[in-house]
Structure 1
Amino acid sequence: METTGGLRERKKEATRRALHEAAMRLAIEHGLGDVTVEAIADAAGVSRRTFSNYFGGKEDALLYGDEQRMQSLLDHFTARPVDETPWAALRASFHAIVAEEGEPDPHWAAQARLARAHPSVLARQLSYYATFERTLADLIAARDALPGPRARAMAGAFMTSLRIAVLRWTEEQPPRPLREVTDETLDEMARPFI
């Protein structure tokens, strides 16, 4: 019975991934405004109804990779040793994702540019990030018994650092590794402002 459940979940994940990749490819090739949900479903080889079972709209399909990376960050943070400071655990979690996935491919940079260029994608992305930030703050507070405001400020500072780093990474010429740009940004965020 567990094999069936595992196979079913793998098939669902493969469908989500196929829809995400189709959304990315079509949005990059044609511009997000000219891409329809029907075109994404066709490119992924599924029906419009199947698309709706997985995503609420093309913005959700486009941002699925971000959502997965954020969930991976939460998982890594939860698994970090308890003797690490929260900031060190957050940085180590980011490094673990880069080690697993390698440097992001050009599609990820294109996705970041799409988000900035289209208010509907940017709004959805900011909503995802706000939800993730609240969850991360709760994990920081529970893990390290930090008071709510400090945990929330740390989660916000970390998320802001990631957003700034990705923005810098997509704009820099010549491009540098995302890890390098992110480490610089995290170092700056960790310095006192006063």
Structure 2
Amino acid sequence: MSGLRERKKQQTQEALSWAALRLSVERGFGQVLVEDIAAAAGVSPRTFNNYFSSKAEAIAWRNLNRGRQVADHIRERPRDEPLWETVTEALLTRYGAGEPDKGWTAGVRLMLTDPALLGEYLKANADAEQEWAAAIAERTGSRPTDLYPRLVAAAMGAAHRVAIDQWLRADPPVSLAVLLRDALRQLAAGLPEPTAR
């Protein structure tokens, strides 16, 4: 029974988070009420408040949830696979899909200028990096608090943030998967200086 309850909880969180994101991109973050989000997800505002303390937290939850899934993918990858290949494939499974739509990316860019949402994203990113460090520690036989897994997780987080920023601003549009793969390739190579153009 608890498995069914957990799945239902996850589905409700996903529906609320997606509704909050979609409405905020369409209307602007400040123009969306909790009541709007709840109605779009087919639940009551009270149900929304049982899951999230704010619309910013609801939107950022998507990022944290994806981060947890990346950690699960790291754990599931073959143990003999090189770590940076594992990290790359794990991130691409959750963040690399789809081509950018100019209207969508413009809405996300605008939405991310809100300080409350930015704060929630930073918290979600920090929590995701802890999850990644724990998964990397398991693969490398270290502790999640050791320097190496924390450095790798922080580097993954930096690559992810920079790739997302590039993806949101690219003109003409560029695939997020291409940007993520390139960022992680450069990290795995030790960030060599670029050749002069």
TM-score bucket (shorter structure): 0.7 to 0.9
Give the partner amino acid of 2:26: E
Q: Aligned equivalents of 2:95 and 2:134: distance in 1?
A: 24
Q: Does 1:55 find its partner at 2:60?
A: no
Please tell me whether the aligned partners of residues 25 and 111 of structure 2 are also in contact (alpha carbons under 8 angstroms).
no
1:30 is matched with: 27
Alignment CA distance shift 1:98-1:126 (3 Å): closer
Specify which of 96, 103, 125 is matched with residue 98 of structure 2: 103
Q: Aligned equivalents of 1:65 and 1:30: distance in 2?
A: 19
Please tell me whether the aligned partners of residues 112 and 167 of structure 1 are also in contact (alpha carbons under 8 angstroms).
no
Q: TM-score, normalised by structure 2?
A: 0.83
2:195 is matched with: none
1:186 is matched with: 184
In structure 2, the gaps of 5 or more residues are 193-197
2:76 is matched with: 79
Alignment CA distance shift 1:12-1:151 (3 Å): closer
Please tell me whether the aligned partners of residues 99 and 174 of structure 2 are also in contact (alpha carbons under 8 angstroms).
no
Alignment CA distance shift 1:88-1:115 (3 Å): farther
Q: Does 1:134 find its partner at 2:130?
A: yes
Q: Does 1:164 find its partner at 2:159?
A: no
More helix by share: 1
Q: Aligned equivalents of 2:138 and 2:5: distance in 1?
A: 33
Query: What SS does the corresponding residue of 1:174 show, helix, strand or coil?
Result: coil
Q: Aligned equivalents of 2:47 and 2:40: distance in 1?
A: 13
Residue by residue, what CA displacement relative to the aligned partner does 1:26-58 show, whole Å, maximum 9, x if unpaired? 212221112221221123232111001111210
Q: TM-score, normalised by structure 1?
A: 0.84
CA RMSD in angstroms comes to 2.5
Please tell me whether the aligned partners of residues 62 and 111 of structure 1 are also in contact (alpha carbons under 8 angstroms).
no
Alignment CA distance shift 1:114-1:17 (3 Å): farther
Alignment CA distance shift 1:124-1:25 (3 Å): same
Give the partner amino acid of 1:172: A
Q: Does 1:90 find its partner at 2:84?
A: no
Please tell me whether the aligned partners of residues 166 and 179 of structure 2 are also in contact (alpha carbons under 8 angstroms).
yes
Q: Aligned equivalents of 2:142 and 2:6: distance in 1?
A: 36
Offset at residue 177 of structure 1 (A): 1.3
Greater Cα offset, 166-175 or 28-37: 28-37
| Superposition misfits of 4+ residues, deviation over 4 angstroms | 104-108
Q: Which structure ranks higher in relative contact order (CA pairs < 8 Å, sequence separation ≥ 6)?
A: 2
Q: Aligned equivalents of 1:110 and 1:16: distance in 2?
A: 25
Alignment CA distance shift 1:134-1:18 (3 Å): closer
Greater Cα offset, 112-121 or 130-139: 112-121
Identity percentage of aligned residues: 35
